[in-house]
Structure 1
Amino acid sequence: MFSVVKRNPVAVLLALLLHLALGFFLLFGMEWNDKPQRPQTSAPVVQAKAVEDPAKLAAAKQKQRQAEQAAERKKRLAQEQKRKAAEKKRKAEAKRKVAAKRKAEAKRKAEAEAKRKAEARQKAQAEAKRKAEAKQKAEAEAKRKAEVKRKAAAEAKRKAEAKRKAEAAAQVAREQELQAQLAAEQNLRQLDRYTIAIRQQIERSWLRPPNAGEGLACVVRVRLLPGGEVMPGSVRVLRSSGNGAFDRSVESAVYKASPLPVPSGGLFESFRDLRLEFEPEG
């Protein structure tokens, strides 16, 4: 009963009012008929007693039921339409949510894919940059090592060349020294030979003074010209023997022995200004 009232309150209210009106009519209509009628001065009036017609009452009830049923059907139809509209709206909303979710998911996947590709691209670029830097560094290191090797080879070559030159120079110096030594020795031998020859030639030209004893010696200076000629006035006694006649005899012997035997070329310079010790034998 309460569910019917909740579903169609208007129809129930109309039925209730109809029942109340019918009851009121029956109650008060019968009371009116029970009251005594005052006599009329005019012609008598016949009072009709109100009697309910069962057919009409049944028809009214039938009409009421039909109205209630119609109201109920209308209510159910409205509720069904409302339910269908709500279901349609719910499905549309669900479909919209699914589409939005799919769109959001597709967007998320697209963004994730774009992010992945961007990260992959950045990673590839970073890797390419790292490889390029590593290659450049390796090339620079190889170039540096090659330069170090080249410099080391050049330094080794320079040192070897310097060593070779030094050894060659040392060899040349040794040879030159040896040659100079040999030349000096040869010059000394020649000098000794010419000095002995000069002394012997002077001794052959010397005449011992009568008062000159044994063991006398003096040192004289003689200036010679190329070819061995004694320069006039050039003979001087540097260290006297202590015997004037002996010293003068030596000076006279030097002039008499001119030209003295002297070497030619460079060796003559050693005899241009000659210091000679004269000590005759016997």
Structure 2
Amino acid sequence: MKGHERDYTSTGQPPWKSPLAFSLLLHGALILVALVGWHWTTPSEELPPRSIAATLVVQQPQAPQPEAVPQPDPEDVRRRQEEQRREAERKAAEAERQRAEAERQRREQERQAAAERERQRQAQAREAARLKAEAEARELARQKAEEEERRQQEEARAAEAERRRREAEERARREREEQERQAAEERRREQERQLREQQLKALAEQADREREQARRRQAEAAAAARAHEQQMLSDRDKYHLLIKQRLNQAWYRPPSATEGMVARLRITLLPNGELASVQLIQGSGNTAFDNSALSAVRSISRYPLPDDRDTFERYFRQFTIEFTPQELR
């Protein structure tokens, strides 16, 4: 019910205007038409004519006998009713398919709209990041230029003062400072180079570790999926057998059952094991035999089901079973 409430909220339609309600009304109308048509075409019973013995005295011309009104063949009536029922089911299935297609298209449009919004958001974020990086780069370049200008001005004033005071000593000091600066710069560059190499090595090792972890996770996931699939198949066979045993215990085979009869039923279950619906999809040709199979299915209050929801959805949400006089298949 919660899934239907979400549909009503998103479409803004009242429940009685939903595609599901329309489909149910269409089913009911078609079944009513089929029942009324069956009532109209049922042949009425006629009393046999009384026999009268008479002796003709005078020879008279023989009057033409009225032709008997042909009665509809019960087999033709049943066949027409079956065709009407199948046509009603086909129309109902087509209506349900159209509703599902409309819902799928609506969800696809919503998904595409969300993807487009996400793409625009990411593009805006990238553009904002680019503009921010450019602004920061310009600000850093301006600060460096101002700092360099101040440093040059200070060095020029110091150099001029030192030149006037001791020109020779200034030349020696400058040479010494230049050598020390070059050595410090060389050491700094070497340290930066080593740091970059260490960072690149660490990044490569991290990437290798992540690839190995991803490979192990994939292998573990594949193994878990295979194990889960095997467990699902085992549970399917186990609970199919339990269901057949329960049905065999609940089924009373009618005396009219003969070899070769097959009644195929589609069973729909709820996750708690209760019967949601049962439908005769292929009759045996014997009404008593078909009804006994339907009664056996409906008599079980709770069917045995596996605990795993995936196994239930794949194998037990809806399945078919065949009733024959010898066994269930």
* TM-score bracket for this pair, using the shorter chain length: 0.3 to 0.5
Q: Larger relative contact order (C-alpha < 8 A, sep ≥ 6)? A: 1
> Could you state the TM-score of these two structures normalised by the residue count of structure 1?
0.45
Which protein is bigger by CA-based radius of gyration? 1
